[in-house]
Chains A and B, each alone.
Chain A
């Protein structure tokens, strides 16, 4: 793999970038409030540099890679959350629960419908009815 693109190196570079940004922010704190944040930020930068050096000097780099499949599963979760925010919790639940399972290989439509009905009714009964929780309503709010 292209060395700079190795996952560990890439993550460490992102970490250093975030630390520099946070360090600039922490610089403006009162001295006693800045002590621990700056210590941690400097430590993180130094440790990240160490990790980059060890990753770049090893022949095969970090053996673990963040696969596309992990990214897909994560994106589905992001999509679920955005959908809840936009169209509300219950519509997303009724569509999203079976859809996610279907997308990841469970194709039994009858079971999906039964499971969705049971889960939706249980959540409604427990959270809306008994615990009085208000979930996001999205465009229906």
Chain B
């Protein structure tokens, strides 16, 4: 299967595809640099605009944005002590003290180089691990696919941390939304309430924009950013190409943090912030001078930024092969694949190898481009983004949200539906209900139902078909493990 990976490369290097990655990285850095905006939000707003585009151009944009935003979050984290994205919290620990000492430019350079290295490692892991895993999953039947959906859903609920009941509510809500529309097996209209617009179900983009874009826009409109601590002197910052050789002393941290980030990315629900914290603590533990950490140690920035970028592409390993995303952004990217007619899962590697392998290359190029685009420009230009008027930006995003959702089917019904999901998103956000399980429920709900019904048809209505194969039993054990792990942890802690 690796030969297909090589064969996909020329397609990615086509000018329009490559430009999409460049534009995506630049846009991603801008989005990540704005506190309150995230890659999740940017991609969910962007997806509708990619409808008419070639799938590789659309996916290149998404890969670029994801890579760019994960680094972009470091800019306000270093300069203002406000993480641009949740994954950049650990970057503030040493990045901000460096900026206070007049070394903000150096901190950003360490951040961008480390982000690129983490991203490259993550893309390589995706290239190496996804193809063989896809081969294995081709052997799965409907019963196994049903259990995979259950494992995916439960793992994002149980491993995400926080309130389990709220996570389960979110997942059930997502599944319920996935059931709206005509039942494809027997033609029953479910929860359509006489609206013909609902017969085809609820478009994932409508839900994504409502849930993921509205809460940050509300935040953007109503909160002012305190830039009084903004301290950045570009004249004191040397060229990134002069700075890189001096950073080579972080090689051990880069390797360790990359491995941690990749592992966390593969685990459903864990996410970049957990990767960054783990790597930061691990690097600090192994440091010769741990007392300097938290006071402006560049290695701390390197550890955090490497790992939060290393979980980007690796989160797509379970997403592309099994249809189970490792992070919220990966869940949204699955939505992006779906709107281009690409069903995530093992068959994707057979049916559209040029696109799926091209997507992997795009992640790699996106990470490499970070050094060129972020490194040479970030220290001078992107820092100025923090001065953009937030209300103006918020009102612009409101317009973009409208255009994006309306453009799907050119009807106002979808826009009103987005408003409803937006209200739910704001309520969920304020009451600390996790949003990734909703998206995963929407993606996996109907998938699980379809496979369950297919398995029961094959088994002539006998539910035992779900436990007959060894793979099913292994997956059931995984379900038990996923459910029990946080419970055991809780008992241990108490």
A residues with CB within 8 A of B: 7-8, 11, 15, 22, 25-26, 29-30, 32-33, 36-37, 40-41, 43-44, 47-48, 50-51, 54, 62, 64-67, 69-70, 72-74, 76-78, 80-81, 84-85, 89, 93, 96-106, 108, 111-112, 115, 119, 123, 127, 131, 133-136
Most buried by A among B168, B173, B175, B392: B392
Set A32, A65, A89, A135: member contacting B430, Cβ < 8 A: A65
Find out whether the CB atom of B188 lies under 8 angstroms from the CB atom of A43: no
Binary A-proximity of B445-489 (CB < 8 A = 1, otherwise 0): 100110011000000000000000000000000000000000000
26 contacts between A and B (CB under 8 A): A8-B431, A15-B169, A26-B191, A29-B190, A30-B183, A30-B188, A33-B190, A36-B445, A47-B169, A47-B172, A50-B165, A62-B432, A64-B430, A69-B222, A70-B430, A72-B222, A73-B217, A81-B412, A84-B415, A96-B395, A97-B396, A100-B391, A101-B394, A104-B221, A104-B391, A106-B391
Find out whether the CB atom of B403 lies under 8 angstroms from the CB atom of A127: yes
Find out whether the CB atom of A76 lies under 8 angstroms from the CB atom of B431: no
Can you name the residue of chain B whose Cβ is closest to the Cβ of A6?
Answer: B431
A77 in contact with B217 given A65-B430, A136-B412 (CB within 8 Å): yes
Can you name the residue of chain B whose Cβ is closest to the Cβ of A7?
Answer: B431
B residues with CB within 8 A of A: 52, 165-166, 168-169, 172-173, 175-176, 179, 183, 185-186, 188, 190-191, 214, 217-218, 221-222, 224, 389-392, 394-396, 398-399, 402-403, 406-407, 410, 412, 415-416, 419, 422-423, 426-427, 430-432, 445, 448-449, 452-453
Find out whether the CB atom of B165 lies under 8 angstroms from the CB atom of A54: yes
Find out whether the CB atom of B416 lies under 8 angstroms from the CB atom of A81: yes
Q: Which 6 A-B pairs have the closest CB atoms?
A: A100-B395, A104-B391, A106-B391, A73-B218, A33-B188, A101-B392
Contacts of A131 on B, CB cut-off 8 Å?
52
A64 in contact with B431 given A74-B218, A100-B391, A133-B410 (CB within 8 Å): yes
Find out whether the CB atom of B426 lies under 8 angstroms from the CB atom of A66: yes
B413 to chain A, nearest CB (A): 10
Can you name the residue of chain B whose Cβ is closest to the Cβ of A97?
Answer: B395
Find out whether the CB atom of B402 lies under 8 angstroms from the CB atom of A80: yes
Report how many A-B pairs have Cβ atoms within 8 Å.
Answer: 156
A47 in contact with B422 given A29-B190, A70-B218 (CB within 8 Å): no
Set B179, B395, B453: member contacting A101, Cβ < 8 A: B395
Find out whether the CB atom of B419 lies under 8 angstroms from the CB atom of A48: no
Find out whether the CB atom of A101 lies under 8 angstroms from the CB atom of B222: no
Contacts of B416 on A, CB cut-off 8 Å?
81
Can you name the residue of chain B whose Cβ is closest to the Cβ of A65?
Answer: B430
Contacts of A47 on B, CB cut-off 8 Å?
165, 168-169, 172
A102 vs B392: C-alpha distance when bound (angstroms): 8
- Extra 20 A-B pairs, beta carbons < 8 Å, given A70-B222, A135-B406: A7-B427, A11-B431, A25-B191, A30-B188, A36-B179, A40-B172, A40-B179, A47-B169, A51-B165, A51-B169, A64-B431, A66-B430, A73-B222, A76-B221, A96-B395, A97-B396, A97-B399, A100-B395, A104-B395, A105-B224
Find out whether the CB atom of A133 lies under 8 angstroms from the CB atom of B431: no
A29 vs B431: C-alpha distance when bound (angstroms): 33
Contacts of B427 on A, CB cut-off 8 Å?
7, 11, 66
Find out whether the CB atom of B172 lies under 8 angstroms from the CB atom of A80: no
Can you name the residue of chain B whose Cβ is closest to the Cβ of A55?
Answer: B431
Find out whether the CB atom of A104 lies under 8 angstroms from the CB atom of B191: no
Contacts of A15 on B, CB cut-off 8 Å?
169
Can you name the residue of chain A whose Cβ is closest to the Cβ of B401?
Answer: A77
Contacts of B166 on A, CB cut-off 8 Å?
51
B289 to chain A, nearest CB (A): 38
Find out whether the CB atom of A26 lies under 8 angstroms from the CB atom of B190: yes
A26 vs B188: C-alpha distance when bound (angstroms): 10
A20 vs B399: C-alpha distance when bound (angstroms): 36
Find out whether the CB atom of B389 lies under 8 angstroms from the CB atom of A44: no
A26 vs B391: C-alpha distance when bound (angstroms): 43
A66 vs B85: C-alpha distance when bound (angstroms): 22
Contacts of A81 on B, CB cut-off 8 Å?
402, 412, 415-416, 419
A78 in contact with B419 given A36-B449, A62-B431, A100-B395 (CB within 8 Å): yes
Find out whether the CB atom of A74 lies under 8 angstroms from the CB atom of B422: yes
A98 vs B398: C-alpha distance when bound (angstroms): 12
B492 to chain A, nearest CB (A): 21
Can you name the residue of chain A whose Cβ is closest to the Cβ of B407?
Answer: A133
Contacts of A50 on B, CB cut-off 8 Å?
165
A42 vs B419: C-alpha distance when bound (angstroms): 26
Find out whether the CB atom of A100 lies under 8 angstroms from the CB atom of B221: yes
Can you name the residue of chain A whose Cβ is closest to the Cβ of B395?
Answer: A100
Contacts of A104 on B, CB cut-off 8 Å?
221-222, 391, 394-395
B227 to chain A, nearest CB (A): 14
Can you name the residue of chain B whose Cβ is closest to the Cβ of A47?
Answer: B169
A115 vs B218: C-alpha distance when bound (angstroms): 20
